[in-house]
Structure 1
Amino acid sequence: MVQQSEIPYVIGNKSFTAVAINTAAKAGEWIKSKLGEFNSLNRKSSHRDLVTEIDKGAEAMIRNLLHTYFPEHSFLGEESVGQESESFEKAIRGAMEAEYMWIVDPIDGTTNFVHGFPFYSVSIALAHKGEVIVGVVYDPSRDEIFVAEKGKGAYVGGQKMRVSAESKLTESLIATGFPVSRQEAYDVNMKGIGALASRVRNIRTTGSAALHMAYVAAGRLSGFWEVGLNPWDLAAGVLLVTESGGRVTDMNGEPYSLKLRNVLASNGAIHDEFQRVLEDEGAVL
C-alpha cells in the first residue's frame, strides 16, 4: 500500500492528489485481493468488452471515497456511463462543463484481470472545467503508482519521471491496443500495426491504455497509439505523459481534449514521424 509519506505534492488546501493516490491504492488492493474470485462475467458492447462485479464494486468504492472528501464534485466512471451514444455524449459534455469532475476507470484492463494476466490498473483523474489537473494510475500487481499534477511534474515511486530520449522510430519501443467494440476502429488499429511493425524496434500490445501511457511517461515506451478509446482510459495517462515532457494529440496531430477517442502519445521527439507514418498508411480515423 502506498504510504502517505510518499506524497510530496498537494493542490491548495484540499489535497486532491493525496486523496486520489490513497483512493487508487485502496481500490487497487481490494481488486488484487479478488483476483480469480469474480462470480459473474458479462459482456457490454462485444465479446471483447468484459465487465465483472469487481469492476462495479471498485467503481462504487472509488466514488464513495472521493465523495467522502469532495461531496460537491461530479463523477464520471466507466461502469456508470451507458453504452448508447447519447449517454456517452451527455457524459462528455458534463465533464467539459463541470467545475470539478473525477474521471475513473476502476479496472483498466478487465480482460487481463479476468485471465489472471498481471497488467491492469486503476485510473483516476480530476478535471477542472474540462482541463485535467490530477492524474493517478495504480498498478496493483507491482504496487506501483504513477502520479501527476498540472504544472508540477509526474512521479513514480517518489522519483520524477522523464520520457525516453529516442529520436527515431527505428530506435523506439511502442505500444498499442485492440479496441473492444467498434469494428472500424479495430481495423484501423490493425492497419497501424502493419504500417509500423517494420519501422520500429518492436511493438507491445498488453491491454491497459492507462498503463501504456504511464510507461511512455516513465520512459519505458517511446510511444503509444490506439483508436476507439474513452476519456476514462486516457485522462490520467495524458497528464502523466505531458508532465513528463511528452506529447499527446489525436491521430491527426490535434491537441488533446476530453472528447478525444483516438490517441497518439510519445516522448515528443518521435511524434511527427510517428503520426506521419500512420497518416500516410491510412491508419487514422
Structure 2
Amino acid sequence: MDYEILCSKVIAIARLTGNFIRKESMNFDAKAIEFKGLNDLVSYVDKTAEKQLVRNLAKILPEAGFTTEEKTTSTKGAVYNWIIDPLDGTTNFIHGLPTYSISIALYEADQPVIGVVYEITRGEMFYTYKGGAAYLNNKPITVSSRPKLSDCLLATGFPYYEFAQQEQYMQLLAEIMRRCHGLRRIGSAAVDLAYVACGRFDAYFEYNLNSWDVAAGAYLVQQAGGHIMNFSGGDEFIEKREILATNAFLDEELLELMNKHFNA
C-alpha cells in the first residue's frame, strides 16, 4: 500500500468536507442543536459531514471498516479501519468560536498508518503517514525542544460531563499553572495534539476522551518526534481514555505530577 498517495486522497476528502462545514458556519441556526448527553452537543452539520467522509473514504479503501463519533456507520474491517471525528470542537462551532477540526485516522492491524487533522477556520492541514514525516500545509513539522516545564506552554481540556475526578484535576491544574508559561483550553483535542506536533504547545493532557478525539492527532505527535502515553506512562491511552502528549523532554516532570494527583 502506498500510504503517501492514500494520504493525499484523505487530505482532499477532508478539505471537501471542511468546505461544507465552513459554509454551514455562516448561517448556522442554534435551533438545530441536539443533545446526546449532558453538555454533549451535536447538529446536522456533524452528521452530514460524517456521512460525506464515510462515503468518500469508502471509495478509496472499500475494505476498511469505520469507527465514527456520530455512529452513522459502524463496521469492522479485517485489516484496515478508519477512526473519524467529523467535527471535533462542536461546542465551539455552535457558539461561533473559531477552532474546530476534522480528524481522520487509518489503522492497519491496530497500528496507525495515516493521521489527518484539518483545522477548518485557519485552513491548516496537518497530516502524516507511515514512512513519512509530519506536515502542516506541505511543510515538515516537529515538536518543540524546550526541556523545562517552566519555559513551556501547555494545553488541556476540561471535563464537561464526567466529574468524578474533578477535584484531582483542579489540583493538578493549579500546580501546573504555577510551573509553566501558561495553560490553554482550545476546545478541540485533535487541534491540541496537532499544535503539540508543530511545537506551538509543548505538551497536552486530558482525560475522558474517545478514540476519534485523539487517534489522528496522537499519530501526528509521534511522527513529529513527540511522545504519547496515558497518565501512568503506559501505551494504553485510548483504552484508558486519558492522554498525555509531550515534546519528549517533559515526560519526567509531567508524569511526576500525574502520578501525584491521579495515581497516588
TM-score normalised by structure 2 residue count: 0.93
Q: Are the equivalent residues in 2 in contact too, given 1:238–1:248 (CA < 8 A)? A: yes
Picking from 19, 36, 56, the partner of 2:9 is 19
Q: What is the SS of the residue equivalent to 1:71?
A: coil
Picking from 195, 198, 211, the partner of 1:218 is 198
Query: Distance in 2 between the 1:155 and 1:221 partners?
Result: 16
Q: 1:29 is matched with which residue?
A: 19
Q: What is the SS of the residue equivalent to 1:198?
A: helix
Consecutive unaligned residues in structure 2, runs of 5 or more = none
More deviation in 27-36 or 251-260?
A: 251-260
Q: 1:147 is matched with which residue?
A: 127
Q: 2:55 is matched with which residue?
A: 64
Q: What is the SS of the residue equivalent to 2:178?
A: coil
Deviations, residues 71-119 of structure 1 (Å, cap 9, x unaligned): 221011100089xxxxxxxx7xx86x84100000000000000011000
Q: What is the SS of the residue equivalent to 1:197?
A: helix
Q: What is the SS of the residue equivalent to 1:167?
A: coil
Picking from 160, 163, 166, the partner of 2:146 is 166
**Residues 198 and 76 of structure 1: CA distance in aligned 2, closer, same or farther (over 3 Å):** same
Query: Distance in 2 between the 1:264 and 1:52 partners?
Result: 29
TM-score normalised by structure 1 residue count: 0.86
**Residues 230 and 144 of structure 1: CA distance in aligned 2, closer, same or farther (over 3 Å):** same
- The number of equivalent residue pairs is 262
Q: 1:192 is matched with which residue?
A: 172
**Residues 17 and 42 of structure 1: CA distance in aligned 2, closer, same or farther (over 3 Å):** same
1:1-285 correspondence to structure 2 within 5 Å: 11-12=1-2, 15-35=5-25, 36-38=27-29, 39-46=31-38, 48-80=39-71, 98-256=78-236, 258-280=238-260, 282-283=261-262
More deviation in 242-251 or 31-40?
A: 31-40
Consecutive unaligned residues in structure 1, runs of 5 or more = 1-10, 83-90
Q: What is the SS of the residue equivalent to 2:70?
A: helix
State the 4+ residue runs in structure 1 displaced beyond 6 angstroms. Answer: none
The Cα of 1:186 is off from its aligned counterpart by 4.3
Residue type matched to 2:55 in 1? N
Q: Are the equivalent residues in 1 in contact too, given 2:116–2:216 (CA < 8 A)? A: yes
